[in-house]
Structure 1
């Protein structure tokens, strides 16, 4: 295992793409230093953008997929197996190398943000947990890329599927948040002229109540209930993109102590679930990938 790790890291360090992706992540971190605080009416507001962490994760995914894909296309993986290494050991070694690379990529982006804006971040009660969640998001994406590379065993296919995977992670993240934010019911205000107006949830603050003859409630058919809601919640909690967006919302709340208190009160359990979900799925994907690759015949 140690020789596989050493050789794998050495191959990463030999490739110019590695340093290009490292530089991209560092630039994202420096950009956080420059753009995370804006001033309005002589008041500073901490409002970092999620896009730079997302760019860094994409760079990490590109680096991993190109490196592992090249190892397949150049016969390196086949040579490792021919030299006596078991397939599942080869797979796990690539997972560990990816974790190391993802750690570097995360640090290059996160350290500048944290070091320069610690005055805001230290207001967070769960600062360490929130950063660990972002770190786990890097690793989770990396592990999914390893899975794709070893299942396809082809650089071109892995690059295409890996790109689609990162895109789908973002789309699914936004979709699950929208679905879970759907109101459970609508309040329907029936007017004297036969018309009606509808608002989400239980809202009674209508200015002109004289025209209202009846108020009823209707269920929202788009609201997920029962097991469907549980499934969507698990998908949201384990989505790296949602974790990054949540961290940015957390950062913005540091501008107001009351908002910060309410956010931490409402979101702590979600943060814990998110970390646990990503870790569990990362382990499951690693196990499944190792088992699938163990049965795979390399051409």
Structure 2
């Protein structure tokens, strides 16, 4: 480090110390003036407290120390004026009022603490509800996305499902023509069975309807589909052909030619029969 730099630093330190000394002296002078105005006691402790410095700081500078000591000695040489004692009853009233005010402030402080705790609980609940709302919003968004995917998937219909829907429409129109109401139970049974089973059951229903009335058409057809009822086949009315044994075949013999009988002979024969009767 060069000598010039050292000398510059030393000069700066001297300037700072000089400025501090002047500032301390000014503050001490102002403090002494204030204490003199209010007729307060002047010593190193009161001056240091009033000037907001330490007592050792006052002793550090000889000029300041000498000034405080002179003012202290000068105040001691003056006769002290009698200090009037305050009225005891008035002081008691003031003290009582102050105590009441202190108690009131303590009660207000306790009430404010209680309200603060309640507000803190409400704030915690608000934060908790806000988190729940955010979670529910996320769930709603997920469900909405799934619903959109499902709706888009249902729009894509296969060829087999279209054919099945056409068959169901035909069966439904046939049921309407028969006066059968397509209730949920019957619809479920029809969807669970094959088309041929359903048509056989409808044919059996028509056959039964020609014989007698069916009080519960939907229930009858539901049971017919479940049990696989079909239309009964017609009974054949053909009879078996008799078989003749070959050993009993009889051939007819040739009959003689009949003779022609004349009328005269007939008369003779009738006379003979009459004689026999007599």
Which TM-score band (shorter chain)?
Answer: under 0.3
- What is the TM-score normalised by the length of structure 1? 0.18
- What is the TM-score normalised by the length of structure 2? 0.19
Structure whose alpha-carbon radius of gyration is higher: 2
